[in-house]
Amino acid sequence: MFFTMLVLRLVHIFAAIFWGGGALLMSLFIGRGIQATGEAGQQVARQLLNKQRLHIFMSVAAITTVLAGVALYWIDSDGFSPAWMRSGPGIGFGIGGIFGLISFVTGAIFGNGNASLARIGAQVNGKPTVEQLTQIQAAQKRMQTVAPIHLVTMILAMIFMASARYFLF
Ligand code: HEM
């Protein structure tokens, strides 16, 4: 079991660092830089999404974090035993996990929006058609709605994950 826990922890924490760090960097810096630099920024976005497949790597890191996290929670709680789930660390990792899952769902909606914008952007020839404009505006609206929820729940997941083992009550 020791080896399983070691591998699960390494997988969980490495994937969480890539996903969490990537989400903060995209939300607070790269995303804003792309928006502020017009066509040049759109070219960078299309390169990151259409060529370098950034959203695929972020999705794989997010799914890996969640699956390894749930496996760790299952092992630590001895199969979701109420006694451990009501303990300090159990409550801490539980709350952190719930924030992580909300960040996962909102991140998926944001990532899909980004991928649709990059796909439509690559299809636009000169001025976007009315249909393309409607699709762009719908994707941007979805992304604007979930972006702050994704960011705040990611930060809260990080805080609870990093402190849960010290919830000794
Ligand atoms: C999405 C749902 C998540 C679940 C169910 C989950 C679950 C867990 C569990 C059960 C542990 C304890 C492992 C052990 O006993 O050794 C843990 C540790 C950890 N998790 Fe998560 N996690 C999730 C998301 C995240 C996220 C989003 C991050 C950061 C971005 C993260 C970062 C960490 C870190 C750094 C540790 C090590 C903490 C320590 O050993 O004190 N986790 N996670």
pLDDT digits (tens, 9 = 90+) for 94-140: 999 999 999 999 999 999 998 888 888 888 877 888 999 999 999 99
| Distance between Cα 160 and ligand 1 center (Å) | 8
Query: Which residue, 115, 102, 119, 109, is CA-closest to 155?
Result: 102
Which residue among 2, 3, 12, 153 has the greatest number of ligand 1 atoms within 8 angstroms of its CB, and so is best to mutate? 12
Domain boundaries, the chain: 2-166
Q: Quick one: pLDDT at residue 51?
A: 87
Burial-class residue 3 by CB neighbours within 10 Å (0-12, 13-18, 19+). exposed
Three-state secondary structure along 82-139? HHHHCCHHHHHHHHHHHHHHHHHHHHHHHHHHHHHHHHHHHHCCCCCCHHHHHHHHHH
- Does ligand 1 lie within 6 Å of residue 61's CB atom? no
Q: How many CA atoms lie within 13 A of 84 on its CB side?
A: 14
**70 Cβ closer than 6 Å to some ligand 1 atom:** yes
Is the CB of 20 within 6 Å of ligand 1?
Answer: yes
How large a percentage of the chain has pLDDT more than 90? Answer: 75
Q: Which of 113, 15, 2, 6 minimizes the C-alpha distance to 66?
A: 15
The whole-number pLDDT of residue 82 equals 96
114 against 81, higher pLDDT: 81
Chain mean pLDDT for the chain: 94
Q: Is residue 6 exposed (0-12), middle (13-18) or buried (19+ Cβ within 10 Å)?
A: exposed
Q: pTM surpassing 0.85?
A: yes
Question: Which residue's CA is minimally distant from atom 16 of ligand 1?
Answer: 9
- Residue range 42-71, pLDDT digits in tens: 889 889 988 899 999 999 999 999 999 999
Q: How far apart are CA 3 and CA 50, in angstroms?
A: 38
- 73: Cβ below 6 Å to ligand 1? yes
Q: How far is the CA of 14 from the centre of ligand 1 (A)?
A: 10
User: Region 24-38: what's the mean pLDDT?
Assistant: 92
Task: Write phi, then psi, for 86 (nearest 5 degrees).
Answer: -90, -5
> What is the token pair recorded at 36?
């502020």
Instruction: Say yes or no: CB of residue 66 within 6 Å of ligand 1.
Output: yes
